[in-house]
Amino acid sequence: MNFYADALTTFVCGVMFVQLLTNLLFVPRLGHLRQPQTDKQDGCGISVLVPARNEESTIADCIDSILKQNLHQFEILVLDDNSTDQTAAIVSKFTDPRIRLIPGKPLPENWTGKNWSCHQLSQHATYEVFMFVDADTTLQPTAISEMLTVLLTSNAGLVSALPAARYETSSDIALLPIINVGLLALFPIWLMHSRFMAKASVAMGPFLMVTKDAYLATGGHATAPTEVVDDVMLSRRIKSSGYPVRLCNGTDLVSTRWYGTLRGTWHGFTKNAFGALESNALLALVTLLFVIPPLLLPCIRLIWGAWSGDITGLLLLQFALLLGTRVVSAVAGKDPIRAIVVHPFAVIFWGLALFWSAVLTLSHGTVQWRDRDVQLSPQ
């Protein structure tokens, strides 16, 4: 049994570390692009689309950061998704003519709130490029123009960026860095940037750019109105339609507040985890049985080995690969290094969230999100 556990652990930790390094070679880092701006970019209009529901604490900072963008031609559309706080009133105080506040229509049946908001925004947008920005996201002045550079130079239909997380609580510090570990070390971004395998594609909803042509050609958010992981599925549909897709590292220019509380993190993880695996029960089972344990065993066995005096060279190699993955991921994603100390707890939390997400989805259960009950169901 130890032989098989060692073999699996060494294999998983090794693959993660190598894939992390490979992915970073394929992911352009916003703020460090070598490609110059083009004349085509100067003449390209952008509709910045901001869905907002009860975002009174963040919406002003978001809009302020968008207004500071070094863009030649853009509009800012903010859709108030039936907020019960001061979101609409705060947006109304902005006098810049490029800003339009759109009152959201009531949420119809068989739509999620985010999909419905984004769909309405797309109908009001007037330019040829849509830039979806979450209301709790803030941008440095060159963020959108650099995304546009990537979009145009790669002829992509969709480009999104990994944002830096804003760490506001101890649970944020402990749990959120596992998002970057999963994305950068477990997902083959290098394959996403190829023409093969449409399912090998992800996107980050807080900062997502898509051409109007690609969006309309694939039906946009209206194609799968109940899809919870809307950003990932939009990316996969666009890639399957023949448009290149790209993922950037935006941590130098984009920051977002993911969940804010431990309860919010649990709800966010359980809402998205199983859907990100396309609600594939077999893939979830493989992850729980053959990925989660190798992420835990080196830590557990090293602690036990330090107590019993039984530390092998192979164990040290496994731990070094795992530690290297966490350190490189933290540096690339601008995550706190100290979060590595609680790595086992973050992995257990993520594993439990994936398990519960699968249970809720397969049983058509609900999870509360943005003061609404969101039904989870296999797509």
- Tally the residues of the chain: 379
Helix 262-276 and helix 343-362: axis angle, to 10°?
A: 60
Picking from 124, 136, 119, 148, the residue whose alpha carbon sits closest to that of residue 46 is 148
Q: Are 94 and 80 in contact (CB under 8 A)?
A: no
Picking from 228, 84, 73, 57, the residue whose alpha carbon sits closest to that of residue 138 is 57
Tokens of 287: 């992850």
Tokens of 357: 């997400």
Tell me if residue 353 falls in helix, strand or coil: helix
Question: What is d(CA 97, CA 90) in angstroms, rounded to the nearest whole number?
Answer: 15
Q: Angle 268-256-208 (CA atoms, 0-180°, nearest 5)? A: 90
Task: Report the phi/psi class of residue 110: left, alpha or beta, with left for phi > 0 and alpha for psi in -120 to 50.
Answer: left
- Phi, psi for 69 (deg, rounded to 5): -70, 145
- Write down the pLDDT at residue 379: 67
Taking the domains of the chain in order of start, what are their residue ranges?
2-23+276-370, 28-169+188-259
Residue whose token pair is 């999963």:
182
- Write down the pLDDT at residue 300: 92
Question: What is d(CA 264, CA 276) in angstroms, rounded to the nearest whole number?
Answer: 18
- Write down the pLDDT at residue 173: 95
- Write down the pLDDT at residue 2: 81
pTM equals 0.94
Task: Give 29's DSSP letter.
Answer: B
Q: Are 186 and 257 in contact (CB under 8 A)?
A: no
Question: What is d(CA 155, CA 243) in angstroms, rounded to the nearest whole number?
Answer: 8
Please enumerate in sequence order all residues whose Cβ is within 8 A of that of 375, keeping only pairs 6 or more positions apart, or say none: 226, 364, 365, 366
Question: What is d(CA 243, CA 156) in angstroms, rounded to the nearest whole number?
Answer: 6
Please enumerate in sequence order all residues whose Cβ is within 8 A of that of 32, keeping only pairs 6 or more positions apart, or say none: 252
What's domain 28-169+188-259's superfamily in CATH? Answer: Spore Coat Polysaccharide Biosynthesis Protein SpsA; Chain A (3.90.550.10)
Please enumerate in sequence order all residues whose Cβ is within 8 A of that of 102, keeping only pairs 6 or more positions apart, or say none: 77, 78, 79, 80, 120, 121, 124
Residue whose token pair is 């089972």:
285
Tokens of 376: 């989870």
Q: Are 364 and 377 in contact (CB under 8 A)?
A: yes
Question: What is d(CA 360, CA 198) in angstroms, rounded to the nearest whole number?
Answer: 26
Picking from 24, 20, 19, 41, the residue whose alpha carbon sits closest to that of residue 154 is 41
Mean pLDDT for back-to-back runs of 10 residues, the chain (379 residues): 86 97 95 69 88 96 97 95 96 96 95 96 97 97 96 96 94 94 94 85 96 96 93 94 96 93 93 91 95 95 87 94 97 96 96 96 89 82
